[in-house]
Structure 1
Amino acid sequence: MSAIRHFDTPHIIRFGMTNDNPGMSEIQFWRNGVHFKLGVYEDDVRGTDFEQQWKPLLKQDPILLRAGLWSELCDLIISHCMEILQVLAPNIPYWTSLHDYFYCKSYTLRLYGAPKSGVIPRVVHGPTSACAYEMQPAAWNTFNVPDDIPIYDCHEASPLDHGMDLKNAPQKVRLSDGTVAFFIPSRISTRRQEGPGYVNDVNESHQSIASYFLLHSLQIRRSDDSARIPKMLGILSYSGRPDADIQREDGKQIAGILLEWIDGFRLINYRLGVYRHITAQNESNHAKWRQQVSQVIKELQVSEGHREGKVGESDQVYLQLVFDQWLSEEAHVLASNPQEIKEIEMSRWFTILDSVC
C-alpha cells in the first residue's frame, strides 16, 4: 500500500505485508533516494515494549480501517530505525536526474530486541542496487526501435515538480536543452488474472512504449496543439548496469520514452486515474480528437493491419488489444455521438467497444 510518511524527510512507502500468526511484517520504502526493505519478526522482538505496540497493528481489520493501521505500523517501525536511516540515507540532494531512479542503493534491515525492552535495527543485506518505482530498463531489442528518433542518456533528463507527487514516478522532465517532456518509463512485468485459474505475466509499460513507436511510424499529420496525439521526442537510454545478456553491443538499454508535453492528453494503456489526463470538454476539441483517431484508423487500414512494434514474447498477443482499447476509449469518451463510431466504419478496430461502453 503506497503512502508518504513524513519524519525529517519524506519516506515513500511502496510495498508491505503483515501476518499476525506467526507475527511478522515487512515494509519497503524510499528515503532520500535510498531503498530499504525492513522486516520485523515476532521471535526477534518478543518481550519488548515494541512488541506490545506492534502486534495489535497486524490484525486483519476491515478494508476501510487498513489504511490507518498501515500508516501507524509504518510510523512505528520507521521511528525505531531513524538513527541508522539517517546514516545510510542522509538529507542530501537526490534523484537529480532520471539516471538516479534507475540506480539506487538498497539495504535490507531487520529489527531485533535490545536491552531494557528496546529494539535495534541491523543491516542484514546490502548495499546492493535497485530501481525506484518498479522501473526496469529493457533490452534494446525488446522493441523495433525507429531509426529517426533521437536518443538521450538518462543523465540528460531531470525531473520537474516530482516532490508534488512522490507516490508516483516522475512524469514531467526537462532535457539538457531545456525541452519539457512527458516521461514514460520501462517497468517490471506484473501478473494479470486472465481467467479462472489462469494468471499471465504482462508488461503494460512495454505495450505503451511499443504503441507509441507504432504511432510514430504512421507519421500522422498533427495540425492542432490542443487535440493532437503527442509526438515522440526521444528515447531515454541507460547504460549504468553491465547486464551483458540484455544489452546492445554498445551496452545501452531503454529506460523509457519521451513525449512532447501537452496539457490534457491521454496516455495509451495508462488507465489509472493519475495517468488519464482529461482533455478539455468542448465540442471543438471533440471533433479534433475524432479527426485524429480517424487518421490513425486510416493509416492502419492502409497497412492491412497493425504494424506492431516488437515486445517480449509473453506480451506479443496483447499489443493489438492495447492499441484497440486505447482507440475505442478515445473515440467513446470524446465523441459527442458514440454511435458515430459505427457510422465511419471503425468497427474493425473497435472490437472491444461494447466492453468499454
Structure 2
Amino acid sequence: MGHTVMDNHIDFDRSWITVMCRATRFHITISRKDIQRSSFEMEYSEMVVKAIVDHDGEDFDVLCEWMVNPCLSYFRENTSNVSKEKELTFQDYYYPSTHHLKLLVSESLLYPKATRDRGTMDPFYYMTPSADLPPFPSIPRSKASDLRIVSDPKWDDYMSEIPQKAIIADGTLRFFKPADKKTQLEREVDMHLLIRDAGLQDKIKVPNLHSIVVSDDGKMTIGLLLDLIPSGGDSLSLYSYQHSEAALEHRARWKQQVTDTVKQLHAHDLVWGDVHPGNSHRHRLQRLDCRFWRRVGREVRSAQEGGDEGRGLAWAWEDIR
C-alpha cells in the first residue's frame, strides 16, 4: 500500500513518524515503556541505534517500515472511502484528515491503537507561515483549493507523495515546488524577480514564476507555481545520459549553454543558487546544475565563486564518468 514518511523523530524512549497514505495523514508513536519486557523492546532499541547513525538511510527506512507495517490494515480500513478517481486539491492534500496512533503490544503482536494524544506532530512541516515571508506584492497568489492534483487511477501513490504538478482553473498544467524551506523559497522568488527586472526572461531558459500558492485562509505558504517546460525529444536525465553515446554528442553543447547562461547571470550580478531536481520537464541548465550545486562549498554556495565552482565540478564529473 503506497505511503510516504513525511516527518519523524527517532529517540530511544519515544519515536514518532508522520505518514501520508491515500491523502490521509497518520501520526504513529511508539514509546519504549509501552513495549517493555516484550520481545519488541530489544528489537526496537537495536533499530533505533542504527537509525540514529544512518538517518535518512536504509536503517532509518527499516525502522519506519517496522512502525508502519502493524498499521497497514488500519490504513486500508480508514482510507477505503478515498477513491482513486477522486479529484484532490492542494488544500485537500496539505490539510488532510489525521489519525493519531500509538503502538502497543498484545501477546506477541504489535498493534496500533487510536489515541487523542496529538503528540508532537507538526501539521505545517512542509509549509511556511506567510507572515514570515516578504510580501512579494508583484507575485500573484493561488489558493490551494483552486489547484487540482494530477491523478492517476491506476496508481494511488500520487495521493501519498508531495505533488509535483498542479492543474489550474483553465486546465493548464504547472510545475509545483513546495515551500518546505523558508530561506530557499525567499531566495528563489528573489532570483526570479531579479531575472525579470534584468530583462533576461526571454534570454535564458528559466521557468517563469506563475504564482505563490497559499492555504485558503492565506496564513500558510505552500509553494511556488512555475511554468512547466514541455519535455523535448532529448529530455533525459543526466543519470540516463551518463552511460549513453548521446552524452558525448550533447556534452559540448550543454557545456556551452550552461557557460553562456552563467556568464549572462554574472554579468547582471545574479547567482542562481537553487535549482530543484524534482521537475522532470526542466531545461538543460537545470539538468546539469541540480546535480552539482550541493557539492559546492557551503561558504561560496550562494556566491559567484559557487556558480563557477559548480560549473567546474560538472565538467570534471563528465570527464571522469
TM-score (norm 2): 0.63
Structure 1 residues 105 and 214: alpha-carbon distance in aligned structure 2, compared to 1, 3 A threshold? farther
Of the three residues 174, 193, 197, the one matched with 1:213 is 193
Aligned 8 A contact 1:159 1:172 in 2: yes
Aligned 8 A contact 1:234 1:257 in 2: yes
Of the three residues 298, 306, 313, the one matched with 1:352 is 306
In structure 2, give the amino acid aligned to 1:31: C
Quote how far apart the aligned CAs of 1:188 are.
4.5
In structure 1, give the amino acid aligned to 2:133: T
Asked if residue 260 in structure 1 is aligned to residue 227 in structure 2, the reply is yes
Map 1:1-357 onto structure 2 (within 5 A): 9-19=1-11, 24-51=14-41, 54-60=44-50, 67=57, 69-90=59-80, 92-93=82-83, 96-114=88-106, 116-120=107-111, 121-126=113-118, 130-131=123-124, 134-139=125-130, 142-147=133-138, 149-160=139-150, 169-189=162-182, 203-222=183-202, 228-240=205-217, 251=218, 254-262=221-229, 281=250, 283-284=252-253, 286-298=255-267, 300=268, 323=271, 325=273, 350-353=304-307, 355-356=309-310, 357=312
Secondary structure in 1 aligned to 2:88?
Answer: coil
Q: Which runs of 5+ in 1 are unaligned?
A: 1-8, 190-202, 241-250, 266-272, 274-278, 307-322, 335-348
Aligned 8 A contact 2:3 2:160 in 1: no
Quote how far apart the aligned CAs of 1:236 are.
2.3
Bigger helix fraction: 2
Quote how far apart the aligned CAs of 1:220 are.
2.1
Structure 1 residues 100 and 295: alpha-carbon distance in aligned structure 2, compared to 1, 3 A threshold? same
Quote how far apart the aligned CAs of 1:174 are.
2.0
Q: Distance in 2 between matches of 1:257 and 1:62?
A: 32
Quote how far apart the aligned CAs of 1:90 are.
3.8
Q: Distance in 2 between matches of 1:65 and 1:214?
A: 37
In structure 1, give the amino acid aligned to 2:163: P
Aligned 8 A contact 1:216 1:232 in 2: no
Quote how far apart the aligned CAs of 1:229 are.
1.6
In structure 1, give the amino acid aligned to 2:3: H
User: What CA deviation, in whole Å up to 9, does each residue of 1:204-263 have, x standing for no partner?
Assistant: 23322332233233332516xxx62211223323224xxxxxxxxxx5654322211125
Indicate the larger mover: 9-18 or 38-47.
9-18
Q: Distance in 2 between matches of 1:61 and 1:141?
A: 33
Q: Distance in 2 between matches of 1:180 and 1:27?
A: 32
Structure 1 residues 239 and 31: alpha-carbon distance in aligned structure 2, compared to 1, 3 A threshold? same
Q: CA RMSD in A?
A: 4.3
Q: Which runs of 5+ in 2 are unaligned?
A: 233-238, 240-246, 276-284, 290-302, 313-321
Structure 1 residues 11 and 216: alpha-carbon distance in aligned structure 2, compared to 1, 3 A threshold? same
Structure 1 residues 219 and 237: alpha-carbon distance in aligned structure 2, compared to 1, 3 A threshold? farther
Q: How many residues align?
A: 267
TM-score (norm 1): 0.58
Structure 1 residues 282 and 113: alpha-carbon distance in aligned structure 2, compared to 1, 3 A threshold? closer
Q: Distance in 1 between matches of 2:55 and 2:135?
A: 47
Quote how far apart the aligned CAs of 1:92 are.
0.5
Structure 1 residues 140 and 26: alpha-carbon distance in aligned structure 2, compared to 1, 3 A threshold? closer
Quote how far apart the aligned CAs of 1:136 are.
1.0
In structure 1, give the amino acid aligned to 2:304: F
In structure 2, give the amino acid aligned to 1:99: Q
Secondary structure in 1 aligned to 2:50?
Answer: coil
In structure 2, give the amino acid aligned to 1:212: H
Structure of greater Rg: 1
Bigger strand fraction: 1
Q: Distance in 1 between matches of 2:104 and 2:63?
A: 16
Structure 1 residues 109 and 18: alpha-carbon distance in aligned structure 2, compared to 1, 3 A threshold? same
Secondary structure in 1 aligned to 2:250?
Answer: coil
Aligned 8 A contact 1:49 1:118 in 2: no
